[in-house]
Amino acid sequence: MEGALATLLPEGGIRRGTAVAVDGHGSMTLAMALAAEASRRGSWVAAVGMADLGVAALAERGVDLDRWALVDLPGAARTGSLAADVLGAVVGGFDLVLLGPEIRVAGATARRLLARMREHGTSLVCVLGGTSADITAGLVPEARLTVTQTQWTGIDDGHGRLLARRAEVTVGGRGAASRPRRLLMWLPSTDGRVACAEPVKDSALGDGHEDVTERRAS
Amino acid sequence: MRMVVVDLGEIDARDCEPVAAALEQFTPSAEALRPGLHAFGARGPSRCFGGERALVELVAQATADSTPSARSVGVGVADGFFAAGLAARLARVSERTEMRSPVAAQPSTERSPTAQSPAVSLSLFTAVLVVPPGQGRQFLAGLPLTSLSDPVSPLYSDEKGTEVLLDVLWRLGIRTLGDLAALSESDMLGRFGWPGLLAYRLVCGLDDRPQQVKPAPTSSAVEAEIDPPAERIETVAFTARALADDMVSRLARDGLDCVSIGITAESDSGHASNRRWRHEFRFNAADIVDRVRWQLEGWHRSPDRPTGPVTLIRIAPCVVSPADGRQLGMWGAKSDADERAARALARVQGLLGAEAVTVPRLAGGRRPADIGRRVPYDAAEASGAGGYSATALDGGRGKKSRGRKPPRASRTVTTGARKAGADKATEAVEAPWPGRLPPPQPAVVLERPEPITVTDCEGNTVTVGGRGEASAAPWQVTDTKGRSRMVVAWAGPWPLDERWWRQSARRRQARFQLVLDDGSAHLCVLESGRWQREATYD
């Protein structure tokens, strides 16, 4: 994984066969950046149930569009057995799957899906899109990345334009990720990349939080 | 070999079944290239129906009677499929433009058939053009160079290669097929390789692959019983995909390409549909599945439609030719991962329908929804699009961020692909598109823009005047459910006036970027007095 994303994820990347959840304003950009990393290494990526995905932004993140497929799930098919069948098929053929916000997979189905993911070495990125519902109840994610406190630069009251976004990403989850961490990132930066932001000037972070940027600096 | 080609233009697969049925009364071996383009050999049937001329007129009449609506029909006869196809096209087009003009009614047979010779109008919507035997070369000589990329040309399926070839020929000053035929065969082969030789042989009126075509070995037919019987076309198509893969790979093992296939479908109720399909170049598995879909769609609309579900599907190669040994590029070959993904997508198409799977492609445009589009997976796979998206990406970025660090990774790909030739799609993407918003592009582009209300601090809706100025600073945004957010930062309005030259297609809007108090940023658009949220910088 590229610098910023490697620091973000507990094991330096998404482990094959596991799920990661992203949440908050900026989750789509973060998910695209994760997928772009896989795509650059030649992996096939499918986005399921993401009718609103911005294709132009996808290209901007550096995704290889020739190895990207979009599967539209109509409203009625987002829950239940059809969704499970579609996900089962997609998981068997792709290295990374992005899952849209409104898809629900229940307990037993989710467990079967996880088993299939492990078998094929497929990773899953669930974009929760602010709903923060318990979709992941069945698909327990290894790590959960939440974008908090975003700040756009370049735009002001009536002039300028959106240039770059500074965001704080909180990482939580199980195993190696169980210790919550925070990281300041550009999502994206002015040159269109996802990168680490400068260390916080005010480093008085809450208890139990390890400031990754500080650690890297030292 | 004398060929008759019937051209109906762009037509829906469902509407071409009556035409196929009408042609069956003349010959058992009528083949369809695609819906609306049918062909058969003229020699046999013309003996039974009183000569070529009489046959063609009967065919034209029968076709016109069986077409669903008042659409123009062209029938062409010539030596070889390529010339006959172009003759049919010419007949149809001239019939449409010169409809009922007295010039068009003059018989053309006495004159030498050139591109200018009008086709004979039989009735209001039908025209025939007969190119006398041995005069194919003169007929072709008058046609424009672009005829080589016509759907009836064997070069049609290699879209990219043909475009490069035609582009180079054009720049060499060659404008008509006659100019091309005046070159020497060895020069064409030396400069352009195999496609050049094929193009040369075509314009000289030499039928494509004349003697090598032979009947297929019967053992290579494949069939599958569908159990439980399939109610939906998608289910049959899914089964057909596996069959087609099997058949194509079996033929490939014997060093054969398939140019014509027969598809049989049987239903629970005892009905059967039997059609032959021809490919202008050679069939691959995806092409075959398309033909199965077209045939079933037509069958389900025809008078003898099946009353029960489909129980059996059989695909048999009718005519094969030796594989010409074109090799896949060193990097163009499909890897295991590609095959795996393609299989998964075929399965998903079986579950949700063919249109549920799309692939992202860049295109030209100013609005986010125009820059990045979704192309049906089947269409993208058929055109074999590869590489141009990488080019497009860097090209677009390079233009937008001049002076910045050059983008990484695919730089070499870009220059290589750019040298390779004029790819129209890439050209459109790389064009500057003044008025396009600079990066970053919004990560969420709403499929259906959401109506919103944007008000100023006094509660009035913000408007944009004729001089392109906002009436007041946006203060608050309210969605349809009544939830409001304060605006913390904004920029705009940026006017956009597209296609002003055509009233019906004109779009005039003012765009704003609004950052709300929850940290989200949106692209909002004011168009004819209505505010909409078009995209989100998520």
DSSP string, A168-213: EEEEEESGGG-S-EEEEEESS-TTS--EEPPPPS---PPTT-EEHH
Torsions phi, psi of A105, nearest 5? -125, 130
Residue among A37, A2, A12, A62 nearest A171 (CA)? A12
- Termini Cα distance of chain B: 62
| Beta strand ranges found along B80-146 (DSSP E) | 120-121, 126-130
Residue A105's pLDDT is what? 77
Q: What is the mean pLDDT of residues B456-469?
A: 90
Chain B contact set for A70 (CB, 8 A): 357-360, 374
The residue among A2, A34, A53, A55 with the most chain B CBs within 10 A of its CB, best to mutate, is: A55
Q: A 111-150 residues with CB below 8 A of B?
A: 129, 149-150
Reading the block at residue B402, the tokens are: 């001049």
Are B196 and B75 part of one and the same domain?
yes
Cβ of B228: how many Cβ atoms within 10 Å?
8
Q: A 22-61 residues with CB below 8 A of B?
A: 25-29, 32, 40, 42-44, 46, 51-60
Give the burial string for B442-464 (b: 16+ CB within 10 Å, else e). bbbbbeebeebebbbeeeeebbb
Q: B205 CB near a chain A CB, below 8 Å?
A: no
Packed helices B159-171 and B185-203: angle between N→C axes, nearest 10 degrees = 120
Are B224 and B283 part of one and the same domain?
yes
Q: Strand pairing partners for A182? A: A170, A211
H or E element: which one contains A215?
helix A212-217
Confidence of residue B398 (pLDDT cuts 50, 70, 90): very low
Q: Which of A114-123, B178-187, B410-419 is predicted least confidently? A: B410-419
- Using the beta-carbon criterion (under 8 Å), do B440 and A72 form an inter-chain contact? no
CATH code of the domain containing A123 = 3.40.50.300
Query: How many CA within 13 A on the CB side of residue B186?
Result: 0
Chain B contact set for A191 (CB, 8 A): 401, 404-405
Reading the block at residue A215, the tokens are: 């650690």
Are B105 and B196 part of one and the same domain?
yes
Residue B343's pLDDT is what? 82
Are B183 and B221 part of one and the same domain?
no
Spatial contact of A21 and A172, defined as CB atoms under 8 Å apart: no
pLDDT surpasses 90 at B158:
no
Nearest chain B CA: its distance from A89 CA (Å): 5
Reading the block at residue A57, the tokens are: 């932004």
Strands B31-34 and B272-278: parallel
Nearest to A162 among B445, B513, B518 (CB): B513
State the Cα–Cα distance between residues B476 and B492, nearest whole angstrom: 15
Residue A23's pLDDT is what? 87
Residue B495's pLDDT is what? 92
Where does a domain end: B169, B203, B237?
Answer: B203
- Using the beta-carbon criterion (under 8 Å), do A66 and B390 form an inter-chain contact? yes
Q: Strand pairing partners for A170? A: A146, A182
Chain B contact set for A160 (CB, 8 A): 491
More confident residue, B199 or B395: B199
Q: Strand pairing partners for B76? A: B5, B129
Q: Strand pairing partners for A150? A: A167
The SS3 call for residue B259 is: strand
Q: B359 CB near a chain A CB, below 8 Å?
A: yes
Nearest to A56 among B343, B371, B518 (CB): B371
CB pairs < 8 Å spanning A and B: 196
Residue B411's pLDDT is what? 34
The string of pLDDT tens digits covering residues B77-114 is 888 888 888 888 888 877 655 443 333 333 343 334 44
Q: Which range, A178-187, B85-94, B198-207, B357-366, is most confident?
A: B357-366
Residue-number span of the structural domain to which B403 is assigned: 358-430
Residue B524 located in a structural domain: yes
Spatial contact of B166 and B154, defined as CB atoms under 8 Å apart: no
Nearest chain B CA: its distance from A50 CA (Å): 9
The string of pLDDT tens digits covering residues A14-46 is 888 888 888 888 899 999 999 998 888 888 999
Residue B43 located in a structural domain: yes
Q: B 387-426 residues with CB below 8 A of A?
A: 387, 389-390, 392-393, 396-397, 401, 404-405, 407-409
Are B225 and B280 part of one and the same domain?
yes
Unique residue bearing structure tokens 């809007």? B509
Tallying the residues shown for chain B, one arrives at 538
Unique residue bearing structure tokens 């062409």? B76
* DSSP character at residue B355: G
Residue of A nearest to B522 (CA): A162
H or E element: which one contains B172?
none
- Using the beta-carbon criterion (under 8 Å), do A55 and B513 form an inter-chain contact? no
Residue-number span of the structural domain to which A91 is assigned: 3-217
- Using the beta-carbon criterion (under 8 Å), do B513 and A191 form an inter-chain contact? no
- Using the beta-carbon criterion (under 8 Å), do B393 and A59 form an inter-chain contact? yes
More confident residue, A130 or A172: A172
pTM tops 0.80, yes or no? no
Query: How many CA within 13 A on the CB side of residue B210?
Result: 9
A22 exposed, middle or buried (CB, 10 Å; 0-12, 13-18, 19+)?
A: buried
Alpha-carbon dihedral sign for residues A82, A86, A87, A89:
positive
| Beta strand ranges found along B234-309 (DSSP E) | 256-267, 272-278
Percent of chain A with pLDDT over 90: 21
The string of pLDDT tens digits covering residues B248-265 is 888 888 778 888 888 999
Are B178 and B223 part of one and the same domain?
no
A100 exposed, middle or buried (CB, 10 Å; 0-12, 13-18, 19+)?
A: buried
Tallying the residues shown for chain A, one arrives at 218
Confidence of residue B421 (pLDDT cuts 50, 70, 90): very low
Reading the block at residue B322, the tokens are: 């030796």
Mean pLDDT of chain B: 78
Q: B 446-465 residues with CB below 8 A of A?
A: 446-447
Counting the structural domains of chain B, the total is 4
The string of pLDDT tens digits covering residues B214-226 is 666 767 788 888 8
Percent of chain B with pLDDT over 70: 80
Residue of B nearest to A24 (CA): B538
Residue B473's pLDDT is what? 93
State the Cα–Cα distance between residues B13 and B17, nearest whole angstrom: 7
Are B121 and B31 part of one and the same domain?
yes
- Termini Cα distance of chain A: 22
The string of pLDDT tens digits covering residues B230-250 is 888 888 988 898 899 888 888
Residue of A nearest to B365 (CA): A56
Cβ of A197: how many Cβ atoms within 10 Å?
19
The residue among B348, B371, B383, B532 with the most chain A CBs within 10 A of its CB, best to mutate, is: B348
State the Cα–Cα distance between residues B21 and B77, nearest whole angstrom: 20
Spatial contact of B296 and B265, defined as CB atoms under 8 Å apart: yes
pLDDT surpasses 50 at B426:
yes
Confidence of residue B352 (pLDDT cuts 50, 70, 90): confident
Residue among B459, B474, B466, B460 nearest B525 (CA)? B474
Q: B377 CB near a chain A CB, below 8 Å?
A: yes
Alpha-carbon dihedral sign for residues B49, B50, B55, B57:
negative
State the Cα–Cα distance between residues A187 and A28, nearest whole angstrom: 10
Nearest to B538 among A27, A56, A60 (CB): A27
Confidence of residue B445 (pLDDT cuts 50, 70, 90): very high
The SS3 call for residue B224 is: strand
Nearest chain A CA: its distance from B314 CA (Å): 26
Are B84 and B130 part of one and the same domain?
yes
Are B267 and B183 part of one and the same domain?
no
Q: Strand pairing partners for B498? A: B507
Q: B515 CB near a chain A CB, below 8 Å?
A: yes
Spatial contact of B341 and B244, defined as CB atoms under 8 Å apart: no
Q: A82 CB near a chain B CB, below 8 Å?
A: yes
CATH code of the domain containing B233 = 3.30.1490.100
Residue A42's pLDDT is what? 84
The string of pLDDT tens digits covering residues A71-127 is 998 877 777 778 888 898 899 889 999 988 877 777 788 888 888 888 888 999 988
- Using the beta-carbon criterion (under 8 Å), do B351 and A58 form an inter-chain contact? no
Residue B437 located in a structural domain: no
- Using the beta-carbon criterion (under 8 Å), do B473 and A77 form an inter-chain contact? no
> How many DSSP H helices and E strands does chain A contain?
6, 10
Residue among A30, A88, A95 nearest A68 (CA)? A95
Unique residue bearing structure tokens 């600079």? B438
More confident residue, B523 or B328: B523
Counting the structural domains of chain A, the total is 1
State the Cα–Cα distance between residues B527 and B495, nearest whole angstrom: 10
Confidence of residue B409 (pLDDT cuts 50, 70, 90): very low
Reading the block at residue A197, the tokens are: 């932001």
Residue B523's pLDDT is what? 95
Chain B contact set for A2 (CB, 8 A): none
pLDDT surpasses 90 at B401:
no
pLDDT surpasses 90 at B477:
yes
Nearest to B535 among A54, A149, A155 (CB): A54
Are B179 and B93 part of one and the same domain?
yes
* DSSP character at residue B113: -
Nearest chain B CA: its distance from A153 CA (Å): 10
Spatial contact of B440 and A57, defined as CB atoms under 8 Å apart: yes
Where does a domain end: B157, B183, B203?
Answer: B203
The residue among A27, A48, A60, A73 with the most chain B CBs within 10 A of its CB, best to mutate, is: A60
Nearest chain B CA: its distance from A98 CA (Å): 14
Residue B212's pLDDT is what? 52
Where does a domain end: B184, B203, B222?
Answer: B203
Nearest to A85 among B351, B389, B535 (CB): B351
Residue B109's pLDDT is what? 39
- Using the beta-carbon criterion (under 8 Å), do A64 and B389 form an inter-chain contact? yes
Residue of B nearest to A92 (CA): B344
Spatial contact of B6 and B57, defined as CB atoms under 8 Å apart: no
Q: How far is CA B505 from CA B433, B497, B501, in A?
A: 18, 11, 8
Residue among B441, B423, B440, B422 nearest B372 (CA)? B441
Q: Which of A146-155, B150-159, B310-319, B494-503 is predicted least confidently? A: B150-159
Give the burial string for B312-351 (b: 16+ CB within 10 Å, else e). bbbbbbbbbbeeeeeeeeeeeeeeeeeebbbbbbbbbbbb
Q: Strand pairing partners for A96? A: A45, A123
Amino acid code (one letter) for B269: S
Are B300 and B386 part of one and the same domain?
no
Are B161 and B27 part of one and the same domain?
yes
Residue among B415, B359, B347 nearest B385 (CA)? B359
Residue B6 located in a structural domain: yes
Mean pLDDT of chain A: 80
H or E element: which one contains B195?
helix B185-203
Q: What is the mean pLDDT of residues B370-374?
A: 89
The SS3 call for residue B312 is: strand
Q: What is the mean pLDDT of residues B28-48?
A: 83
The string of pLDDT tens digits covering residues A39-70 is 888 889 999 989 899 999 998 888 989 889 99
Q: Strand pairing partners for A68? A: A45
Spatial contact of B181 and B204, defined as CB atoms under 8 Å apart: yes
* DSSP character at residue B499: -
Residue among B420, B423, B363 nearest B159 (CA)? B423
